[in-house]
């Protein structure tokens, strides 16, 4: 093999390697980075988290705040067993967004067995070592292995905040909405809408059952189902009126939290 042939082969190999590296670099450059979560102002995050609870439970509740670089931490230790926090990632949707913001509370049982899933999801996102899909798959695997368990007794999650920004449908739909729907959620592991007589499936004009992880675990195998009961019209109207200042602060913080135009994308 002469010198020119060897040189030509080396050149082709070099060009091929360059092409592979260039294409890989272009592919990496074209992939949009996951949006980074910002730290909510402490006073705003605290007040919004507490708004999930009825007023009589707020003084004794434990408040968790989110450090986007680490995860959730206890900002105030409570005494009544209830916790509250602001959810910034809905793990079932396998999507890291920066416009999901919803105040949630749990009683002692929910704090024990449901909140750890949110904690782990937040920690995985903060680490930067996992994609949203990997995080969801890890959670689903831990549910299947019994590491994450269903509530062992009936209980309640209050979601009485005056506004929420989250997914209104199942994890195969990625539309996010700003909504005003204060409601109560009662633990209903492994149940379906048929079990509570909500037929056709998921009819939303009364109590309804929601368990998005059923899409991945099977309809009767989802441990974190909830029977959702919307607050009554008078109660919802009062909640929104009483939180007028908080709503203004949230809208000033993020325009997508503005409720002036009603439900919006």
Task: Specify the pLDDT at position 260.
Answer: 81
Residue 44 to residues 40, 47, 70, 86, 221, Cα–Cα distance (Å)? 7, 5, 19, 10, 37
Task: Specify the pLDDT at position 261.
Answer: 64
Task: Specify the pLDDT at position 263.
Answer: 53
Residue 85 to residues 67, 115, 200, Cα–Cα distance (Å)? 12, 9, 33
Residues 226 and 207: their CA atoms lie apart, in Å, by 10
Task: Specify the pLDDT at position 28.
Answer: 37
Task: Specify the pLDDT at position 180.
Answer: 96
Task: Specify the pLDDT at position 3.
Answer: 44
Residues 142 and 233: their CA atoms lie apart, in Å, by 39
The structure tokens listed for 174 are: 């990625």
Residues 2 and 11: their CA atoms lie apart, in Å, by 14
Is residue 68 within 8 Å of residue 37, measured between CB atoms? Answer: yes
Is residue 103 within 8 Å of residue 49, measured between CB atoms? Answer: yes
Task: Specify the pLDDT at position 36.
Answer: 86
Task: Specify the pLDDT at position 134.
Answer: 98
Q: Which of 158, 73, 49 has its CA nearest to residue 107? A: 158
pLDDT tens, per residue, the chain with 265 residues = 544 444 444 444 433 443 333 333 333 333 456 788 999 999 999 999 999 999 999 999 999 999 999 999 999 999 999 999 999 999 999 999 999 999 999 999 999 999 999 999 999 999 999 999 999 999 999 999 999 999 999 999 999 999 999 999 899 999 999 999 999 999 999 999 999 998 887 776 789 999 999 999 998 999 999 999 999 999 999 999 999 999 999 999 999 999 986 555 5
Task: Specify the pLDDT at position 32.
Answer: 53
């Amino acid at each position: 093999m002469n010198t020119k042939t060897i040189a030509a082969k080396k050149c082709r190999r070099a060009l091929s390697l360059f092409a592979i590296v260039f294409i890989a670099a272009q592919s990496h450059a074209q992939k949009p980075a996951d949006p980074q979560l910002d730290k909510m102002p402490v006073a705003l995050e605290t007040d919004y988290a507490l708004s999930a609870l009825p007023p009589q439970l707020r003084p004794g509740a434990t408040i968790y705040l989110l450090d986007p670089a680490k995860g959730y931490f206890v900002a105030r230790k409570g005494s009544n067993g209830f916790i509250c926090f602001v959810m910034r990632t809905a793990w079932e949707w396998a999507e890291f967004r920066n416009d999901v913001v919803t105040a949630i509370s749990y009683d002692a049982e929910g704090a024990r067995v449901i909140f750890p899933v949110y904690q782990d999801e937040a920690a995985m996102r903060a680490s930067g070592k996992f994609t949203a899909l990997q995080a969801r798959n890890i959670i689903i695997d831990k549910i299947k292995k019994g590491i994450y368990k269903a509530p062992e007794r009936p209980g309640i999650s209050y979601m009485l905040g005056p506004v929420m920004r989250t997914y209104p449908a199942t994890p195969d739909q990625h539309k996010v909405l700003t909504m005003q729907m204060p409601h109560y959620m009662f633990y209903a592991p492994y149940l379906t809408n048929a079990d509570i007589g909500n037929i056709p499936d998921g009819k939303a004009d009364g109590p309804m059952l929601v368990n998005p992880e059923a899409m991945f675990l099977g309809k009767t195998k989802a441990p974190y189902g909830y029977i959702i009961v919307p607050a009554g019209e008078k109660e919802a109207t009062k909640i929104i009126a009483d939180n007028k200042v908080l709503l203004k602060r949230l809208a000033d913080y993020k325009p997508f939290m503005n409720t002036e135009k009603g439900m919006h994308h």
